[in-house]
């Protein structure tokens, strides 16, 4: 794991320290990692919503068995890749 140093103004540093003092996080690094994961999740949800809206506004087509096979294969690959990252 690589290290990254960040500088925070005193009010933000105090806020982070307050989050740690609640006991939910053991270190500032743990708190920042959760913030980043939450941001990644939010961006993925926004992308999914945009794709769904695009699909809803597009022309309707019937999915074939080959389409479902490709969708399943892609989904399983993404789940596998996500598991390997953890």
Note whether residue 3 is domain-resident: no
Query: For 48-56, what is the mean pLDDT?
Result: 94
Query: For 17-23, what is the mean pLDDT?
Result: 96
Note whether residue 1 is domain-resident: no
Using CA atoms, how far residue 29 sits from 22, 38, 54, 77, 80, in Å, is 15, 14, 37, 30, 26
Note whether residue 37 is domain-resident: yes
72 Rama class: left (phi>0) / alpha (psi -120 to 50) / beta: alpha
Note whether residue 38 is domain-resident: yes
pLDDT at 12: 97
Note whether residue 78 is domain-resident: yes
Helix axes of 28-57 and 10-21: crossing angle, nearest 10 degrees: 100
Note whether residue 24 is domain-resident: yes
Over 90: is that where the pLDDT of 40 sits? yes
Note whether residue 43 is domain-resident: yes
pLDDT at 36: 97
Q: How confident is the model at residue 82 (pLDDT cuts 50, 70, 90)?
A: confident
Domain that holds residue 67: 10-85
Domain count, the chain: 1
Q: What is the pTM of this model?
A: 0.63
């Amino acid at each position: 794991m690589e290290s990254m140093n960040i500088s925070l103004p005193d009010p933000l540093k105090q806020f982070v320290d307050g989050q740690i003092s609640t006991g939910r996080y053991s270190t500032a690094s743990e708190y920042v990692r959760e913030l980043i994961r939450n941001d990644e999740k939010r961006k993925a949800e926004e992308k999914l919503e945009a794709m769904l809206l695009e699909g809803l506004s597009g022309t309707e087509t019937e999915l074939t068995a080959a389409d479902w096979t490709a969708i399943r294969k892609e989904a399983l690959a993404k789940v596998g890749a996500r598991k390997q990252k953890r």
